[in-house]
Structure 1
Amino acid sequence: MSGSVRIGIVGSGFSAHFHLASYRKIHGAAFEVAAIAGRDRGKAAALAAQYGVARVLDDADALIADPAIDVVDLCVPNHLHVPLIMKAAAHGKHIICEKPLGGFFGPNGAPGDWSAEGFPRQAMFDAVIAQLGAVGEAVRKAGVTFCYAENWVYAPPIAKLNRLMAASGSTILRIEGEESHSGSHAAYSRHWRQAGGGSLLRLCVHPIGGALHIKYEEGRRRTGRPIRPVAVTCQVARLTDIASFRAEEPKHIVTGWQDVEDYASILVDFEDGSVAQLTSTDTRLGGIRNFLSAYGSRAVATANINPNTACQAYTPDGSYFDSEYIVEKTETKAGWSFPAPDEDMITGYPAELEDFVSSIAEGRAPKSDLMMAQDVLLLVYAGYLSAAERRTVDLRPYLQAR
């Protein structure tokens, strides 16, 4: 692609805000955020004014159809990802999609109060397999670049971990990782029909993506092809349903989960015989916990994304820090804390978007691509099937050769 890459953002909520903030930190790539569209035009206009975006369009369809837009950046709720991906591909637009790629949000024609309680996980899994195939076909047919916004792939601590594994020549025997905090306050997260799942889908996609990236890169170093996942075993739970916890007051952990889990642990088997143990939960006090550890034959390394100890602080009264941001998802600013000096940078957002813009301009695949997006969603829904049927799910029949 010649000239400046012209980006249109769909959405005006949290993810649109941090994408716009991170685009400001990109240096060296020729691009512009040319337009924004959101369901709430007022919010979209406010974001456009804050970040200097010239045009505010009425809706996603108008932005996707606009010939002055090269790339559609999807910062929308999970259930809108696949429909908008299909529209963008049909219009020949390159795509940046927030995680996850998609999911199951209820059968066609389901009532507004549809619940996932008792719904067959095999049916969900089958629907997601069909969804993955449709998205892959649409993207490949259109010949567009698909960028999967998994920031862990670009987080500096994980990039360093990967370089250490490469430098040591280690066989990566085992990976351990986690994303946990005290719970989402977003109302949509309580319901499967809106979120597509619980902590496994909302949180564990990050350590899953990080683990896949580490094994992909190891495989490319060794044989020129990524090492792929071949099996999944999973357990999920709703820990806030424990009777003694329900009787407690006050509660410092988010409650009210309707038909989704607040805890998940997934074991991934890779084709070379290595394993990954990955956890996510909405029941961890003390702020967000994001880490990935690689246990190699010649080295061990841990990437601590959160908490990061670059800055440490103490105050006896949290109100003293009222005017200053500390870190995501902490319940209190009192006591010892780990204030993030540049949370966007350490979690990988500017590096992620820089790679996306450059990959589109150069006509190459990004580090976090369609294969990553498809494998992550496959693992998540195989996990739900595994947990429901208490068995290991073989992924090999569903992996596309790529």
Structure 2
Amino acid sequence: MQNKKTIKAGIIGSGFAASFHYAALQRVFSAAVEVVGVYSIAMDEAEDFATSRGIKRYATLQEIMADVDIIHVCVPPAYHEEIVLSALKADKDVIVEKPFTGYFGNQDDRFNGDTFPREQALVYAIDSVKRMLQAEAKSKGRIMYAENWIYAPAVQKEREIIEKSKSQILWISGEQSHSGSHSLSYGKWKLSGGGSLIGKGCHPLTAVFYLKAVEGYARLGRPIRPKTVSARVHALTRMDSYDNKGYLKTHYSDIEDFATLHLVFEDGTVADIFANELSLGGTNNWLKIYANNHRTECNMSHNNSMQTYTPEEKNFEDVYIVEKTETKQGWSQVSPDEGWFLGYQHEMNAFYNAHIENGRIESNSQLAADTIITIYTAYLSAEKKGAELEICLVSD
């Protein structure tokens, strides 16, 4: 067997996202991936991350970039643009976590995500997207947008159905929701760039854009892109009337915990996206596709491939069941390989294959740009009580 090419990878960040990137890289088969090291401004956390995995902790961003072929951006989105631009300037391929970029205020402690004008956020987000697309156009490196939903096996099977049957998608609905993020940085607009709409809605939204692009290429030779959006957002767990029973996360300071948006595409077809922090019983990750020749339901979580029952939760104290479940007592729907269902390993394998072959990137910078601009247009729509607004997309 021919030896696989060794690709050197560097991880920026040392938290949750960095951990699942590292785990997914252990299952890449298109290349021999060597994770050289990690860099993070949280030096003690980075030291623990590096020591536990037998890799190097780098002191500066410049040092790690000099030693690797691919950079993984696994830090809060407020810092994405700076690192992406540095990687592209160094002609490195860069894998950037979601959300791609956003508006994070002036980083002043007095900044309040509830009160700033949404037009300001939209203008900034568009400019940030343009800066990264322009940097990519000048670089030998490429942006790989780490939207795992694109590579989830269910979504990729639906891609095959659409391509081979020349389907016309009339309506898509999608949702990501759960009982709230454990991250203390999530919940502060200046770190997360928003709430449920950007933090969770970005997943089904990007998948919708991807499938409509697949349809467009199959039927028309070009992608079908979004035209207008209308949206509403609410902060329900921050209401004075909220009766807190302690099950939902409530550390959010100035973001929404519920969002819904309605899209109209340039061909007149539609999509609806739901995102919230109000859903007990684990994560909801699903897409429903209504086409002129078929109907598909893609479930990335809450699969019934394995179900188990225990009368006492302590029996499963050391057993991982599924993300965001509040209890293990009674019947549980187990995800025997959660990362596989959610597309993490498939995503990384595709990115490294694209790096080696200089091939097509399914989840690319244009898809990331369309998602971010649509999200911030949706925030503006919500400020205008759900007004339908044109989406001012940009191209690379």
Into which bin does the TM-score normalised by the smaller protein fall?
over 0.9
Contact 1:165 1:299 in 2 (8 A): no
Q: Please show how residues 74-113 of structure 1 align to structure 2 within 5 Å.
A: 74-107=73-106, 110-113=107-110
Counterpart amino acid of residue 63 in structure 1: I
- The partner residue of 2:276 within 278, 281, 298 is 281
Counterpart-to-counterpart distance in 2, 1:197 and 1:401 = 24
SS in structure 2 at match of 1:173: strand
- What's the CA shift string for 1:86-109, capped at 9, x where partnerless? 1111111111000011100003xx
Counterpart-to-counterpart distance in 2, 1:85 and 1:274 = 34
| 2:237 pairs with 1:240 | yes
Instruction: Name 1:179's counterpart in structure 2.
Output: 176
Instruction: Name 2:57's counterpart in structure 1.
Output: 56
Q: 1:161 to 1:365 in 2, by over 3 A?
A: closer
Instruction: Name 1:399's counterpart in structure 2.
Output: 393
Q: TM (normalized to structure 2)?
A: 0.95
| 2:22 pairs with 1:20 | yes
Instruction: Name 1:148's counterpart in structure 2.
Output: 145
Q: Please show how residues 129-144 of structure 1 align to structure 2 within 5 Å.
A: 129-144=126-141
Instruction: Name 2:261's counterpart in structure 1.
Output: 266
Q: Any gaps of 5 or more consecutive residues in structure 2? A: none
Q: Please show how residues 283-302 of structure 1 align to structure 2 within 5 Å.
A: 283-302=278-297
| 2:218 pairs with 1:216 | no
- The partner residue of 1:257 within 238, 249, 252 is 252
Q: CA deviation at 1:316?
A: 2.0
- The partner residue of 1:207 within 190, 204, 208 is 204
Counterpart amino acid of residue 7 in structure 1: A
Q: 1:237 to 1:87 in 2, by over 3 A?
A: same
Moved more, 32-41 or 379-388: 32-41
Counterpart amino acid of residue 33 in structure 2: F
Q: Any gaps of 5 or more consecutive residues in structure 1? A: none
Contact 1:148 1:368 in 2 (8 A): yes
**CA-atom RMSD in angstroms:** 1.6
Q: Please show how residues 323-338 of structure 1 align to structure 2 within 5 Å.
A: 323-338=318-333
Q: CA deviation at 1:229?
A: 0.9
Instruction: Name 2:310's counterpart in structure 1.
Output: 315
- What's the CA shift string for 1:110-139, capped at 9, x where partnerless? 522311222110011111111111111111
Q: CA deviation at 1:151?
A: 0.1
Instruction: Name 2:372's counterpart in structure 1.
Output: 377
Counterpart-to-counterpart distance in 2, 1:196 and 1:170 = 35
Contact 2:92 2:140 in 1 (8 A): no
Contact 1:288 1:328 in 2 (8 A): yes
Q: CA deviation at 1:142?
A: 1.2
Contact 1:145 1:363 in 2 (8 A): no
Instruction: Name 1:195's counterpart in structure 2.
Output: 192
Counterpart amino acid of residue 68 in structure 2: I
Counterpart-to-counterpart distance in 1, 2:134 and 2:20 = 30
Q: Please show how residues 363-374 of structure 1 align to structure 2 within 5 Å.
A: 363-374=358-369
Q: CA deviation at 1:166?
A: 3.2
Counterpart amino acid of residue 250 in structure 2: T
- What's the CA shift string for 1:292-328, capped at 9, x where partnerless? 0100111000001111111111122211111100000
SS in structure 1 at match of 2:122: helix
Instruction: Name 2:225's counterpart in structure 1.
Output: 228
Q: CA deviation at 1:41?
A: 3.4
Q: 1:169 to 1:145 in 2, by over 3 A?
A: same
Contact 2:30 2:353 in 1 (8 A): no
Q: 1:6 to 1:182 in 2, by over 3 A?
A: same
Contact 2:213 2:224 in 1 (8 A): yes
Counterpart-to-counterpart distance in 1, 2:70 and 2:251 = 38
Q: 1:41 to 1:226 in 2, by over 3 A?
A: same
Moved more, 147-156 or 183-192: 183-192
Counterpart-to-counterpart distance in 1, 2:301 and 2:250 = 23
Counterpart-to-counterpart distance in 2, 1:50 and 1:372 = 35
Q: 1:191 to 1:291 in 2, by over 3 A?
A: same
Runs of 4+ in structure 1 deviating by more than 4 angstroms, as ranges, are none
Q: CA deviation at 1:401?
A: 4.1
Contact 2:88 2:142 in 1 (8 A): no
Moved more, 208-217 or 24-33: 24-33
- The partner residue of 1:128 within 125, 128, 132 is 125
Counterpart-to-counterpart distance in 2, 1:255 and 1:49 = 34
Counterpart amino acid of residue 10 in structure 2: G
Q: In percent, how many aligned pairs have the same letter?
A: 34
Counterpart-to-counterpart distance in 2, 1:250 and 1:277 = 30
Counterpart-to-counterpart distance in 1, 2:245 and 2:388 = 39
| 2:11 pairs with 1:9 | yes
SS in structure 2 at match of 1:306: coil
Q: CA deviation at 1:49?
A: 3.9
Counterpart-to-counterpart distance in 2, 1:137 and 1:39 = 27
Counterpart-to-counterpart distance in 1, 2:122 and 2:149 = 25
Q: CA deviation at 1:251?
A: 2.4
SS in structure 1 at match of 2:185: helix
Q: CA deviation at 1:243?
A: 4.3
Contact 2:184 2:251 in 1 (8 A): no
Counterpart-to-counterpart distance in 1, 2:36 and 2:240 = 52
Q: CA deviation at 1:3?
A: 4.6
